[in-house]
A and B are shown apart, each in its own frame.
Chain A
Amino acid sequence: MQIPAAIWLVAIPLLATPVVYLAGHIGRAAAADLSGQVTARWGALIALAVAFFPFAQATHELAIYGPSTFAVGLINLRADGLTLLMAGLVLALGIAVILSGEPTMAQDADEVKFYALLLIMIGTTIGLVSAGDLFNLWLWFETMSISSYLLVAFYRDQPTTLEAGVKYLVQSSAGSVLVLLGVALVLAQTGTLDLAQIQATATASPGLLAAGALFLVGFGVKAALVPLHTWLPDAYTQAPSGVSAILSGVVTEAGLIGMLRALSMLAGTRLSWGMLLIAFGALNMLVGNFLALRQRQVKRLLAYSSLTHIGYMLLGLGIGIYAGQLTAAQGGFFHLITHGLMKGLAFLAAGALLQALRAADSERSPLTITDLNGAARRYPMVALVLSIALLGLGGLPPLAGFMSEWQIFTGGFLTRNAVIEGLVVFAGTMSVMSMAYYVPLVNAIYRQETSEAVRAGTSLPAVTLLPLLLLALAVIAIGIWPRLVEWLTAPAGAALVAALKG
């Protein structure tokens, strides 16, 4: 029997995990040098690269046959536009993170564990976005969360990191319990957990509405809706930068996808969900911007800016759900991709600088904006790509963020609804406001007078630059020619609107 590509896509990272872990440990036991870590790193890299084959195959099949469902025992897997969009993004970012090779520079003995956990997180994220029934949705969500707690608290000998990990754990668990309650409610009401079946049969009953509210808030914790977001700044700041890149670029959004999947069975009440998502989107933009405005720490600033960008996605997806607006939904997913690339790039570049400037500092004190003064003079390439990432996040053309925001805004105006048009103008103003904190950072990087930290910094290995340059090129290319990712965003947008059309 031939195993479908969609199953391989989930299976490869998960199957590779024990192999990578064991091979890394055996290598370390055999030779007392770094070879075990090198083995683990290459193993993880190869596993992710191989996963691109089933990805390509699944994309091809989707284009020809449309969405499909596969069963592996009791587990239902679904391959549609949403699945492939997230899978492609998480694989690409995963490869970038491994290539940038942060733990190597940190001289961290646990590197083998890092790669194994990273593979689990990537595999479970793909599993989450391809779950076909509610219980598996929750199960994947939990496993993804558990792997991410361990990664956030990776530098476990530091109190601040542990604090961040615990906060993340407690808040996510609270969210997770709400999701589980929601699942129980749905089962009690309908007697089934299959998403497609529920959607076909269920009518809007108070019980199902309550379940929807539980899903919205439960997944909303992971997706960092304001005011459920409070774990996020600590987690992003304390995690290794590569992990921050994947957390902000994909894992947070995976929570969003989980929410959309769970809500899609309640298609009959899509107006309410659309309104709620739009409202949370506006709140996220506003609060994220204000909190980032006076932030002096680089990674914390990037963390708060993620709130704002989740807000743009919520706006696009919310309009897509509320008005059945395909363009807005597609724009929301487009922004998910561009934000993933730009924020991933920003965290990786900031991480590279953090490693270089804090090499001598065993405390890993946080990187502030003033620390970056004059960084361009010593690290011209990293400074350039970080600036590209920041300006792209601020929505400047010719960078990717401009085009995805444009598509969301276009979708908003296509509804011809005055309130939504007003919200689009508000979102545009928020984008302008965000420049007020990205731009001073860019200014600092290009100063003549260098900071103490930059003068004392160590040099960076050239290989670190490779993933940064690739991501920067992608950000520019998409900004000039937005069609480049249409093959991913169009099916995803169509899948969302179709799922909620009812």
Chain B
Amino acid sequence: MAGYLALAVILVPWLGALAVWWAGDERRLAQHALAIVFALVTAVLSLMLLPVVSAQVVLSLSAGASFGTFTFVLDGLGVFLAIIAATIGTLAVIFSVDYMAGEAQLGRYYSLILLFIGAMIGLVLTGSLLLLFFFWEITAFCSYALISFHNDDPKAVSGGIRALIVTQVGGVGLLAGALAIYSVLGSFQIGGFLDQAEALPPGMLRWMAFGFLLAAAAKSAQVPFHTWLPDAMEAPTPVTALIHAATMVNAGVYLLARFYPAFAPVGGWKVAVVTVGVVSAVLAAVMGLVAVDIKRVLAYSTISQLGYMVYAIGVGGVFASQFHLMSHAVYKALLFLGAGAVAHIIGTRDMRQMGGLGREMPFVRAVFLVGALALAGLPVLNGFWSKELVLEAGLGGGPLWAYIAMLLCAGLTALYTFRMVWMVFYGTRRSEGAVHDAPLAMRLSLVVLALGTLTSWVSAGPFGQMLARSLPFHTLDVASTGQIVLTVLMAWPTWLALAIVALGLSAWWWRERLAKFTSRLRFLARAAAGDFGFAWLDEAIVRTAQGTAEKLSLTQTGQLNWNVLGVVAGLVVVLVFLIWRA
């Protein structure tokens, strides 16, 4: 029964993708309706998974030699992420009704979103490494195809290709790790691997651990692979909210959390994870401070918050990382959709042309503020509780330098958040033209997400217990929501963190008085605006590859003499090799 449910929750959105495509671009209303219905059914099905959470394999299909067994497991970690994918997916689809009104090729848009939702759910529910990689690649494909949705725009096209290539390069690490596991254990089962990880040769386990870290860093846009995420902002905003904030970018964090019990004992791995998380969090926060495109600010902030989750896993706080993942998915989807509403209505994403929009868009301002306060980590919103848990896990289980860096980063987060809110909604208007508030379908999605941001932290206790109950290989330190609230409020680091956040806030408030100081930091701002040279590095690699290709194509003369020389040269090489071997 549970097995069929697992299969249904993956296949229903895929059927929806077919149905929307089949409806055809001439029947726009039918396409909107079909997309919403199939997404809603998926969301309901995903919630029906909650009562059947367990560590057992619920479905297994033998795929023959060298493909292992295709299995699905409905444990807490998987079901939780499936629910996020399905519900936020539904909200993104509803938001799209207004956002995509008037756009051509709706069929392709909705089909890809539904295909993505199914693949994301498959990614988190499968118990087979082969299928994990299988779905991992499908999500990368959907992400690329949706970033490049506006195929006529060269920026969208290059952004999509970059996202695809960077995440796939990381994916090679996952591939190699999975194959190495198969070569030792003769099976692709994740449960079996976690069970027997200690028995593996340490050298091999080390390769796997770092291979998976590479894959996770690329997928979750961590330094130095982060460059694809800001460029992915060319995607339609509901896609950004769904794929590049709430779901796919979390797949890397999911991977690390899932395999933490196996890799934690590997020497140097935890430090490497912490370092990746801290560097990403801090660098991205600084870049978020100087960006002027509202979606890019949010993209950098996503990298930064993902850095917090990666850091949490590195210090052993698997529950804290997943709790922060939940909060972040909700409030960041809210912020992106809010930003999308603003950009959609005034027609630009450049914050320098916004300002003073709060008067005309009180509704959007209200919900955006809820999201922003959660991002900045102010009580009692969901981002506050989860960030405090992450920081406390860091103080307890990680190096002190990392904790201090993350603490300061919380101040930076508050600073860039308030800069963004101010530039968009307050101050004087810098644009002309009539501005109206968000239309109905947009409001519906925004309200649900805002309510989620206000309340999702209440589920912390049951969520932790669900994880502890169904993850046999993890040792999780969980408590009830009440206990969590008490511990957070009684702990001195909470107040220290709040003080830092307040400092960040006041830095924005007194920005004019600090002008003398900030002008000394110009060089840093310039470096941050240039992505600290990482984007240049990417482009250099692409240029080299293309240059090599051009040069190599010169060797294809098309002249028969040279061609036959190639044949003769081949023979000579083979003969020389054979003589050398003999």
Residues on the A chain within 8 Å of B550, using CB: 294
Residues on the B chain within 8 Å of A327, using CB: 65-66
* Interface 9-mer from A85-93, A397-405, A455-463: A397-405
Contact of A499 with B by CB under 8 A = no
Report which of A225, A234, A440 forms a contact with B157, defined as CB distance below 8 A.
A440
Residue of A nearest to B104 (CB): A448
Contact of B137 with A by CB under 8 A = yes
Report which of A276, A293, A435 forms a contact with B165, defined as CB distance below 8 A.
A435
Residues on the A chain within 8 Å of B164, using CB: 435, 439
The smallest C-beta distance from A294 to any residue of chain B, in angstroms, reads: 5
- Chain B 421-450 against A: per-residue CB contact (8 Å), 1 yes, 0 no? 000000000000000000000000000000
Contact of B574 with A by CB under 8 A = yes
Whether A220 lies near B151 (C-beta < 8 A) is no
Size bracket, chain B contacts: 35 or more
Whether A217 lies near B157 (C-beta < 8 A) is no
Q: How far is the CA of A349 from the CA of B361 in the complex (A)?
A: 50
* Interface 9-mer from A192-200, A240-248, A362-370, A411-419: A411-419
The smallest C-beta distance from B162 to any residue of chain A, in angstroms, reads: 10
Q: How far is the CA of A270 from the CA of B369 in the complex (A)?
A: 70
Contact of B196 with A by CB under 8 A = no
- Chain B 149-169 against A: per-residue CB contact (8 Å), 1 yes, 0 no? 011100001001100110011
Residues on the B chain within 8 Å of A234, using CB: 558
Whether A293 lies near B571 (C-beta < 8 A) is no
Contact of A231 with B by CB under 8 A = yes
Number of interface residues of A (CB under 8 A): 74
Q: How far is the CA of A440 from the CA of B148 in the complex (A)?
A: 10
Residues on the B chain within 8 Å of A433, using CB: 165, 545
CB contacts under 8 Å to B, within A414-449, are 414, 416, 421, 424-425, 428-429, 432-433, 435-436, 439-440, 443-444, 446-449
Q: A170-B564, A410-B179 are in contact. Are A217 and B571 (CB under 8 A)?
A: yes
| Residue from B63, B152, B164, B570 with most neighbouring chain A CB atoms (10 Å) | B570
Q: A396-B137, A414-B183, A428-B175 are in contact. Are A444 and B151 (CB under 8 A)?
A: yes
| Residue from A271, A330, A403 with most neighbouring chain B CB atoms (10 Å) | A403
Contact of A267 with B by CB under 8 A = no
The smallest C-beta distance from B573 to any residue of chain A, in angstroms, reads: 9
Contact of A391 with B by CB under 8 A = yes
Residue of B nearest to A215 (CB): B574
Contact of A227 with B by CB under 8 A = yes
| Residue from A220, A229, A409, A432 with most neighbouring chain B CB atoms (10 Å) | A432
Whether B161 lies near A436 (C-beta < 8 A) is yes
Whether A227 lies near B161 (C-beta < 8 A) is no
Contact of B108 with A by CB under 8 A = yes
Q: A234-B558, A293-B549, A482-B63 are in contact. Are A447 and B151 (CB under 8 A)?
A: yes
Whether B168 lies near A409 (C-beta < 8 A) is no
Contact of A209 with B by CB under 8 A = yes
Residues on the A chain within 8 Å of B556, using CB: 230, 233, 291
Further contacts, 11 of them, CB under 8 A, given A228-B566, A432-B165, A448-B105: A217-B571, A227-B569, A230-B558, A276-B577, A402-B137, A424-B179, A428-B176, A432-B169, A440-B161, A448-B151, A490-B65
Residues of A within 8 A of B (CB): 166-167, 170-171, 174-175, 178, 206, 209-210, 212-214, 216-217, 220-221, 225, 227-231, 233-234, 271-272, 275-276, 287, 290-291, 293-294, 327, 330-331, 391, 396-398, 402-403, 406-407, 409-414, 416, 421, 424-425, 428-429, 432-433, 435-436, 439-440, 443-444, 446-449, 481-483, 486, 490
- Chosen A-B contacts, 13 in total, with CB atoms closer than 8 Å, are A174-B567, A210-B578, A212-B578, A213-B575, A290-B552, A411-B66, A416-B183, A432-B168, A432-B172, A436-B545, A443-B148, A448-B151, A486-B65
